Amino acid sequence: MRYRRLLLTATLIIVSPLTVAATETPKPPAAAIASAHPLATEAGITIINQGGNAFDAAIAVTAALAVVEPAGSGLGGGGFWLLHRESDGFQTMLDGRERAPLSAHRDMYLDRKGNIIPKLSINGPLAAAIPGVPAALEHLAKQYGTLALSQSLAPAIALARNGFAVDKRYQRLVNFRLRAMRRSPAAAAIFLHHNEAPDVGYIIKQLDLANTLQAIADHGAAGFYSGPVAKRLIEGTRAAGGIWTLDDLTQYKIKERAPIKSRYKNIEITSAAPPSSGGIALATMFQILENYSLDQLDNATRVHLITEAMRRAYRDRAEYLGDTDFVSVPVEQLSHPFYAAGLASTIHPGKATPSSQLPGIADHQQGTDTTHFSILDRDGNRVAATLSINYPFGAAFVPPGTGVLLNDEMDDFSSKPGVPNVYGLVGNRANEIAPGKRPLSSMSPTFLEDDHRIAILGTPGGSRIITMVLLAALEFAANKPPYDWVNAPRFHHQYLPDHLSFEPNAFDQETINTLTSMGHTLKARSRQYGNMQAILWDRTQNRVMAASDPRGNGLASIIE
Ligand code: GLY
């Protein structure tokens, strides 16, 4: 590769939360919540109307999503909560990512010949890492909320007891996981009806989950990580071949991490730190794109340059990124404008770079379902949270008597360098399995801020999360409103496999022809993807807007 120094204005800094200066801004004229399910948005509205702040509402929405959108997230999973406290400008990322069990080991998904045993890191209790969501609920309430944890959890407990109605999306996803789900009697009893996908409108009540939520309401995180719930989790996982121990549960801790900050033109981007790859990959892509005037280019050239930025950021992701508590990640190098300038200098303006011509890596990968919500309260506090149990309905396994659907986040590790995971991502030693380590994630809850606008956004979508956030941020940069950010047609490149995938109708025929002649291998996806939830606070116009992705069934609400 040929590297050339360019003068760049883009910068990326990892800012310690304590160094973020307080800013004097007017208060938003309204609060807003956007989430992937109307009942979860309503749970958050209830808590705001009871006097709770954005962080209390985040507890309510997190817990409600665990009940009404079980395919995406839950008490048996993890996530990242990006927080902004308006009173002092403090910003932090709660890392509630799952961690590998203490008896996990590097080769646990390989057979004696060193080959990956299919599905072992996807279905059943051996696929599950130790959940972080229950600890995050307590942490949010203790450190940032104003209401008792029990008050913020009350709407979710009621939803679990009273039930929610199956919709088409639920039906599609549960059908996708039907075979695995049938192997867990406790999961099948809750999420299926007579061992089949339930009809639309069928009411799913979750009494065990209501009791587990109540234990957390009564005892905080200890209600999950010790006592009767923990005993059932351990007994249930071990009886089905899992390796969890009580030490795994009692040792789980939330970490607070300084978010990754970068700039694109006049926009400050605040996004997720490792063990997410999101903030660093966004920084790389934005710093590369800073070299171009994208708005003055024809569509094919614009897509080509964005694709080349994606390709390079995902190569670095696969090569270098992992849990920084376990491996050294060259964050400053990857984030430095000169490094991005070097990457940009390798981009041919009219020709695709085959991924095989970039310095090589071994392989790795990662998960797709997941969920996201965004919250702004009337004081200007903000939460962007992306939560996951990985594959739809996670490991499709429930330890009996808990109502807790376990994640299959172990698949987000690189089980074997060079071998792609369920989402085709490749990885390296930095993301190999180790006891207590957090698997690399793509979840990218993000804030965008220019001199008068603030955006809160994120989306599910596995490896495509980061590129969806990039494309939405470019809509923000073009002064478009939130509906355009969540609605914009999507395309994606992740280095390997070496193809540019795109949503149906994302490109017209002329763009497809031009990109093909540039050397890109195009792959039309059969369906749309993503479920972005976004909020805009325009301080000049004193206006709050919110939008929920039309691809999903979510609800964005303004609370006057
Ligand atoms: N399991 C999806 C992610 O963390 O990226």
Which tens digits make up the pLDDT trace of 467-487? 999 999 999 999 999 999 999
pLDDT band at residue 418 under the 50/70/90 scheme: low
149-187 pLDDT per residue, tens? 999 999 999 999 999 999 999 999 999 999 999 999 999
- Bond into 550 cis (ω within 30): no
Q: What is the pLDDT of residue 19?
A: 35
Q: How confident is the model at residue 420 (pLDDT cuts 50, 70, 90)?
A: low
Atom 4, ligand 1: which residue's CA is nearest? Answer: 441
Ligand 1 centroid – CA 38 distance (Å): 23
DSSP assignments along 179-248, one per residue: HHHHT-HHHHHHH-BTTBPPPTT-EE--HHHHHHHHHHHHHTTHHHHSHHHHHHHHHHHHHTT----HHH
Report d(CA 454, CA 447) in Å as an integer. Answer: 7
Q: CA-to-CA distance for 153 and 378, rounded, in angstroms?
A: 21
Phi (first) and psi of residue 373, to 5 degrees:
-140, 155
Strand partners, 93: 82, 257
Q: What is the pLDDT of residue 332?
A: 86
Contact 381, 53 (CB under 8 A): yes
Residues 415-420 have a mean pLDDT of 69
Instruction: Tell whether pTM > 0.85.
Output: yes
Tell me, in angstroms, the distance from the centre of ligand 1 to residue 559's CA: 30
CA 445 remoteness from chain centre: 7
Pocket test for ligand 1, best of 414, 441, 459, 469 (most atoms within 8 A of CB): 441
Residue 268 has φ and ψ, to the nearest 5°, of -95, 130
Query: CA 387 to CA 373: how far, in whole Å?
Result: 9
Q: Cβ(386) to ligand 1 under 6 A? A: no
Mean of the pLDDT values across residues 48-75? 98
Please give the Cα distance from 236 to 366 (Å, whole number). 26
Secondary structure of residue 22 in the 3-state scheme: coil
Pick the residue with more confidence: 377 or 12? 377
Ligand 1 touching residue 370 (CB < 6 A): yes
pLDDT of residue 10: 29
Q: What is the mean pLDDT of the chain?
A: 92
Sign of CA dihedral 517, 523, 525, 530: negative
Report the range of poorest mean pLDDT among 21-25, 221-225, 332-336, 509-513: 21-25
Catalytically active residues are 370
Distance CA 498, CA 521 (A): 7
Which residue has a Cα nearest atom 3 of ligand 1?
441
262, containing H or E segment: strand 260-264
Nearest alpha carbon to residue 554 among 167, 186, 287: 167
Which tokens sit at 532? Answer: 């972005």
pLDDT for the residue numbered 364: 39
Determine if the peptide bond prior to 439 is cis (ω within 30°): no
Listed residue (274, 219, 302, 343) closest to 477, CA to CA: 302
What pLDDT sits at residue 100?
98
Cβ atoms of 35 and 551 within 8 Å: the answer is no
327-356 pLDDT tens trace: 999 988 888 888 999 999 999 999 999 999
Q: Which of 381, 373, 377, 374 is nearest to 560 (CA)?
A: 377
What letter would DSSP give residue 353? P
- Residue 441 CB less than 6 A away from ligand 1: yes
Structure-block tokens of residue 386 = 């992306």
Q: Which residues of 306-341 are buried (b: 16+ CB within 10 A; e: fewer)?
A: bbbbbbbbbbbbbbbbbbeebbebebeebbbbebbb
Find out whether the beta carbon of 290 lies less than 6 Å from any atom of ligand 1. Answer: no
> In ligand 1, which atom is closest to the CA atom of 443?
5
Task: Please report where in the chains the tokens 């006097």 appear, as a residue.
Answer: 51
347: tokens are 């981009």
Q: For residues 408 and 128, what is the distance between their CA atoms, to the nearest angstrom?
A: 5
Average pLDDT over residues 194-209: 98
Q: What does the pLDDT read at residue 6?
A: 27
Ligand 1 binding pocket mutation candidate from 73, 81, 388 (most atoms within 8 A of CB) = 388
Q: Which residues pair with 492 in a beta bridge?
A: 501
Handedness of CA 464, 470, 475, 479 (dihedral sign): positive
**DSSP code per residue over 393-429:** TTTS---TTT--PPP-GGGGS-SSTT---TT-----G
Task: Kindly list the strands in the beta sheet with 543-548, ordered across the sheet, starting from the edge strand earlier in the chain.
Answer: 12-14, 260-264, 267-271, 446-449, 453-458, 533-538, 543-548
Task: Find the 86 Cα to ligand 1 centroid distance in Å.
Answer: 28
pLDDT in tens, 231-279: 999 999 999 999 999 999 999 999 999 999 999 999 999 999 999 999 9
pLDDT bracket for residue 26 (50, 70, 90): confident
Q: Collapsing DSSP states into helix, strand and coil, what is residue 120?
A: coil
- Rounded to an integer, what distance in angstroms lies between the CA atom of residue 481 and that of residue 31? 17
Q: Is 40 in the pocket of ligand 1 (CB under 6 A)?
A: no
- Residue 505 alpha carbon to ligand 1 centre in Å: 26
Q: Which amino acid is at 172?
A: R
Maximum distance among all Cα pairs of the chain, rounded to whole angstroms: 64
Backbone φ and ψ of 533, nearest 5°: -125, 120
Task: Encode pLDDT of 76-124 as tens digits.
Answer: 999 999 999 999 999 999 999 999 999 999 999 999 998 889 999 999 9
Weakest-pLDDT range from 15-29, 57-71, 246-260, 314-328: 15-29
| pLDDT, tens digit, 9 for 90 and up, residues 144-154 | 999 999 999 99
Q: In testing the pocket of ligand 1, which one of 366, 393, 463 has its CB within 8 Å of the most ligand atoms?
A: 366
Q: What are the E-state strand segments in 72-115? A: 78-85, 90-95
pLDDT at 414: 86
What does the pLDDT read at residue 424? Answer: 57
Residue 426 has a pLDDT of 56
Task: Measure 367 CA to ligand 1 centroid, in angstroms.
Answer: 5
Cα-to-centroid distance, 508 and ligand 1 (Å): 31
Q: Would you say the CB of residue 98 lies under 6 angstroms from ligand 1?
A: no
